[in-house]
Each structure stands twice: as structure tokens, then as C-alpha cells.
Amino acid sequence: MRPLDPPPVAAPPALVDSHCHLDCPDFEGEVDAIVARAAAAGVTRMVTICTRPGNLPRVQEIARRHPGVFYAAGIHPMSVAEEPAVTVADLVALAADPRMVGIGETGLDYHYTAESAAAQRASLRIQIETAQETGLPLIIHARAADDDMAAILTEGYRARPYTCVMHCFSSGAELARRALDLGFYLSISGIATFPRSGDLRAILAAAPPDRILIETDSPYLAPVPHRGRRNEPAHVVHTAAVGAGLFGMDIHEFAAVTSANFDRLFARAAAAVPA
């Protein structure tokens, strides 16, 4: 290198945003630019989540237009009371699409929608059965429902094993332990970057590194330094930096570990990416 040449610029870490919502109205008319910004930040793949059947055509269109974007589909627990019931057969039929790589998000939310708890539990069991039938991973939303969540996930797994990620994990240590004991994954979101999330960071740091994913849940939960503003997949780099610190890794090593975890869990997405 000649003395006046600038130093080489390190390539950004190759990251995966395992959970985002690109069909959200917050992104209307901007999806192409958002995907481009993510790629420039090192995000190689994304999973955009369909939480309502009526949104499915838009989600599918986004995934088909962008080779690095895949999708999952299910009924969000906070939407169960407003949506027509779906059957296992309905969801299995949807899963024939090779761009669909997961089931959900599903789960339990007793914080905002406790009044529909029984319907949520029924919907969760349907989506567990769909994951069992298709071999696609289940994507779980859990809020203020740790005991029921652990019991239903365990009951289903004992009947017939399946794979699962606890999306945007922010629950207690016992649910983390129960999920990890079943071979499931914990996903780190921007919440882990918040100053008051020390207890959560400790729970995540106690998990095996080969069971960790990262996500944005964008447009929600923007990490520091973007907290309070609209989130987007490019911002997963900030969550990855915190995650790397939890496991004593540099960000490139952590990116490689979490990308390998993603490939293992979302095998259909991994198979679609040229070697």
C-alpha cells in the first residue's frame, strides 16, 4: 500500500433479519429502498411476516420481487378474535409456496388481548400442528403468558417434535429455559439494546450461541441509537453489535454464527440461496 492510499474499508458483517413486517403501512411505497438500504448494511436475507390472511397477497408479492426476502404466514394472537378461523389444511396448502419459510407468527398475548385467551390457545395449537405437518419452523409471539406458553409448546413437542423460534424474546428466564430445553431458538430484537434491559441481556447471554437469532421486528422496536423512530431491516446491525458483546464475539463472528443458526432453522430459505 502506498503511504497516501486510504486504509481498506472492512466489509459489513453478513447479517440476517429473521423477522420484519415489510407489508406494514409504515413502509408503503418504500419497500424497494428499504431492501436496498438493508443490503448496503450487510443484510443478506430477511423474513417478512404475514400476520393476517388478508395481507398475504402483498407479502407474497414482496417476497417474489426480492430474492433475499422470504415470508412466513399465520394468525397473530392479537388478531385471532378479528380473523376467520383457519384450519391446518388451509395453512399446509399455503406452505406449498417455496418462498414461505415459516409458520406464524402465532402465540399468546395476555397483556393486550387477554379477553381472547381461549381463542389464542386454540389458534396456537392449530399452527403447532401445521409446523409439525410441514416441517417449517414455528414463529412464536409471547407476552404475559409464560406459563401457558411453555405448557402448550411442550405438550405439542412431546406429541410430535417440531422446530421453533421465540421471536423478539423478552419473557422470563423460565420460559427461555423451557424453550431451549426443547431445542428452540431465542431471537434478539432491539429491546436488548435498551439501557433498562439488563435482565433480558443476562437471560440471552446464558443461552447457547448456536440457538440465537437476530431480528428487527421492523417497523417496531428500533434499537438504540434509533429508538423511538421507525425501525427497518438495516438497523439489525445495532442489535447484532449488542448481541456480539453478550457472547464475547466481534460482530463478524456473531453474524456468521447467527446466519448459520438461521440456515439451520429456516432450511427452505437456506436452500434457495446459491452457494
- Residue type, position 35, single letter: V
Architecture of the structural domain at 15-272: Alpha-Beta Barrel (3.20)
Residue 97 CB neighbours (<10 A): 16
**Length of the chain as a residue count:** 275
Classify the C-alpha dihedral 244-202-112-74 as positive or negative. positive
What 3-state DSSP class applies to 166?
strand
pLDDT at 3: 44
Q: CA-to-CA distance for 66 and 73, rounded, in angstroms? A: 17
DSSP assignment of 125-136 equals HHHHHHHHHH-P
Q: What residue ranges do the domains of the chain occupy?
A: 15-272
Residue 172 burial (CB count, 10 A): 15
What pLDDT score does 85 carry?
84
Query: What is the structure's pLDDT at 273?
Result: 58
pLDDT score, position 201: 98
Give residue 117's pLDDT. 98
The C-alpha atoms of residue 34 and residue 219 are separated, in whole angstroms, by 11
Q: What angle do CA 25, 28, 29 make, to 5 degrees?
A: 180
- The burial of 32, by beta-carbon neighbours within 10 Å (0-12 exposed, 13-18 middle, 19 or more buried), is given as exposed
Residue 12: predicted pLDDT: 87
Helix or strand run (H / E) with residue 17: strand 15-20
pTM (predicted TM-score): 0.94
DSSP summary character for residue 75:
-
Tell me which residues of the chain have a pLDDT lower than 70: 1-10, 273-275
Q: Please give the pLDDT value at position 58.
A: 97
Structure confidence at residue 275 (pLDDT): 39
